[in-house]
Structure 1
Amino acid sequence: MSFRIIGNLCRSTRKNLIEEKLSCFANTKRSMMNVTQKHRASSESSQGDHYGSDSSIHTTVFKRMFKKYKRRNPAPDLSQVVDPHATSSSNILHFQQLRVNDVSDEELQMLGLKPLSEWKLATLPGREGLYIFPSALKEDASEMWLQRAVNYAEPPHVTNLTAHGSSPEKNVLKNAGKSLRWTTLGVDYNWDTKQYPLSGDPLPTELVQFADVITRILKLGPMFADATIVNYYPPKSTLSPHIDRSERTMAPLVSLSLGQSAIYLTGGESLDDEVIPLWLQSGDVLVMHGAQRLDPVVSDFANSSRANITIRQVNPVDKK
């Protein structure tokens, strides 16, 4: 079985971040762990998600690329980062217009998505199953999704703060935003066993609908999302290279980005395979499926930070 390695770096990429909403990455994959959990999960296992560590990638191509774009002083050369928004990327990415009949304008409007006539689909040769919809979200809808990301951190949802017994009773982002890293919804991942239970609380309807609409647009749906993680990235934060393999289905992973830009590193089956850096910007939607599926407050927060909303389908659904 093959696994692809991915990484994620949150960077300030524009001088005027006030004009850029939050970077909220609605992504159907589990991403953030605290330092202790990372070390625990990086041990070899035949089950569960796998996060790379410095010791495991100290001489690899991926590690060198990760350190390159993570560097702050001097700032890295970003000229090789592939931007799905730039026409100059057409010699690297393949672009196409969409022709979809089974997604209504009402569904798109309800989720804050643009009319399909304004969408374009970007794919990357050699990365089958990786799909990017640049700026699929309406500009004014980013605030709506940002507010939802903030609300998802409120009790009774589990966050890294509740896991350590230090969560405020309300206004979590306002009172503990500097320490907030993730919150989970739906079927809760067990960090100790690196597995999902067979059931959990229902997801908020908008998350289920978002994942379903995106996968239907790609003719990969319907999708029945049942788990989400929201990641909150402060300045200079990163997501280590890792593999997701805990779900009991191979449903796609769907991601929505809002606000501050990030560099997404997509690799191959080995940490020494070619690594391609991609820009993810506010309103972008990224989907991983097939081979890629095996890959491994509001204003101030938006101007300096990034968030990740992660929706996924863990359990199979009996369609009878």
Structure 2
Amino acid sequence: MSALFPRPRMEVAPGAVHVPGWLTPGQQRRLVAACRAWAGGPVPIRHTRLPSGGVMSVRTVCVGWHWLPYRYSRTADDVNGARVAEFPEWLVELGRRALAEAYGDEAAAAGYTPDTALINFYDGQATLGMHQDKDEKSSAPVVSLSIGDTCVFRVGNTATRTRPYTDIELASGDLFVFGGPSRYVYHGVPRVLVGTGDPATGLRTGRLNITLRVTGLQDSS
């Protein structure tokens, strides 16, 4: 988008910023192709089983570090024991550009070095309950990218899963960043709007959500 027509930007809460249409169609296609490759292994995409015995309706694959409730590991000990795919430098750069776009702080963005990505695939029935992203040892912002079907994204507060919260729609190409006072807000996806995506992204159905994070962990391997 040109400087004459700047991207709309909305601060949903302090530190929680929504930038619609941030990813170009080409960037979306590249991300879909990358996610499709990661979904095939070395650790395949799967429905995560929770300690309670429940199974998440979204399917997840990880890059850099493997998330399993409620910790990170270099190896997928709950799947096949394999080491997860390496976190690519181009994804670090994308995260930095996203942070600069959301916060307008080039210096902070330059120091942002995500080392893991959680990639969730939502079919038409998948949802994600209200939760906090708090398994990381770092309080650096989380960068969230959406591709495919639009979803209802619920942004809550830092104290409880219940109200007050705000519902917004995240469409294909949208960027959402939460950091600072909103780093540990409860958030979730109560609904996906089936059939709202554009197959030109490379994703015929469903929704991809890619969240870039800084684990704050040291590799002991």
Q: Normalising to structure 1: TM-score of the pair?
A: 0.51
Alignment of 1:274-285 (within 5 A): 274-285=164-175
Letter in 2 for 1:152: W
Q: How far off is 1:202 after superposition?
A: 3.4
Letter in 1 for 2:59: R
Alignment of 1:16-27 (within 5 A): none
Q: Provide, for residues 231-289 of structure 1, a one-character-per-residue CA deviation record: whole Å limited to 9, x for no partner.
A: 11111211111111111111100011112100001112223432211010111100000
1:240 aligns with 2:129: yes
1:183 aligns with 2:69: no
What is the alpha-carbon distance in structure 2 between the residues aligned to residue 155 and residue 180 of structure 1? Answer: 17
What is the alpha-carbon distance in structure 1 between the residues aligned to residue 93 and residue 161 of structure 2? Answer: 35
The change in CA–CA distance for 1:248 and 1:155 in structure 2 (over 3 A counts) is same
1:271 aligns with 2:161: yes
Q: How far off is 1:115 after superposition?
A: 5.8
What is the alpha-carbon distance in structure 2 between the residues aligned to residue 115 and residue 145 of structure 1? Answer: 23
**Cα RMSD (Å):** 3.0
Q: Provide, for residues 153-194 of structure 1, a one-character-per-residue CA deviation record: whole Å limited to 9, x for no partner.
A: 12213432799xxxxxxxxxxxxxxx9811111022233xx2
What is the alpha-carbon distance in structure 2 between the residues aligned to residue 289 and residue 310 of structure 1? Answer: 13
The change in CA–CA distance for 1:309 and 1:272 in structure 2 (over 3 A counts) is closer
Counterpart of 1:196 in 2: which secondary structure?
strand
Letter in 2 for 1:249: S
What is the alpha-carbon distance in structure 2 between the residues aligned to residue 189 and residue 236 of structure 1? Answer: 22
Aligned residue for 2:195?
none
What is the alpha-carbon distance in structure 1 between the residues aligned to residue 182 and residue 116 of structure 2? Answer: 19
More strand by share: 2
Aligned residues of 2:64 and 2:87 also touching (Cα < 8 A) = yes
What is the alpha-carbon distance in structure 1 between the residues aligned to residue 10 and residue 163 of structure 2? Answer: 22
Aligned residue for 1:196?
72
Aligned residues of 2:58 and 2:126 also touching (Cα < 8 A) = no
1:214 aligns with 2:98: yes
Aligned residues: 184
Q: How far off is 1:197 after superposition?
A: 4.2
Question: What runs of 5+ residues in structure 2 fail to find an aligned partner?
Answer: 50-56, 76-83, 187-197
Aligned residue for 1:291?
181
Higher RCO, Cα 8 Å, sep 6+: 1
Q: Provide, for residues 281-307 of structure 1, a one-character-per-residue CA deviation record: whole Å limited to 9, x for no partner.
A: 1111000001211123x9598343111
What is the alpha-carbon distance in structure 1 between the residues aligned to residue 7 and residue 172 of structure 2? Answer: 14
The change in CA–CA distance for 1:121 and 1:153 in structure 2 (over 3 A counts) is same
* Rg (Cα) greater in structure: 1
Q: Provide, for residues 120-162 of structure 1, a one-character-per-residue CA deviation record: whole Å limited to 9, x for no partner.
A: 32112xx211001111122343222211221121221343279
Letter in 1 for 2:14: E
1:312 aligns with 2:213: yes
Letter in 2 for 1:225: P
Counterpart of 1:270 in 2: which secondary structure?
coil
Letter in 1 for 2:22: A
Aligned residues of 1:157 and 1:185 also touching (Cα < 8 A) = no
Q: How far off is 1:310 after superposition?
A: 2.0
Identity of aligned residues (%): 22
What is the alpha-carbon distance in structure 2 between the residues aligned to residue 162 and residue 286 of structure 1? Answer: 24
What is the alpha-carbon distance in structure 2 between the residues aligned to residue 274 and residue 143 of structure 1? Answer: 36
1:154 aligns with 2:43: no
1:128 aligns with 2:128: no
Aligned residues of 2:145 and 2:175 also touching (Cα < 8 A) = yes
Letter in 1 for 2:28: S
Q: Which runs of 4+ in 1 moved over 6 A?
A: none
Counterpart of 1:145 in 2: which secondary structure?
helix
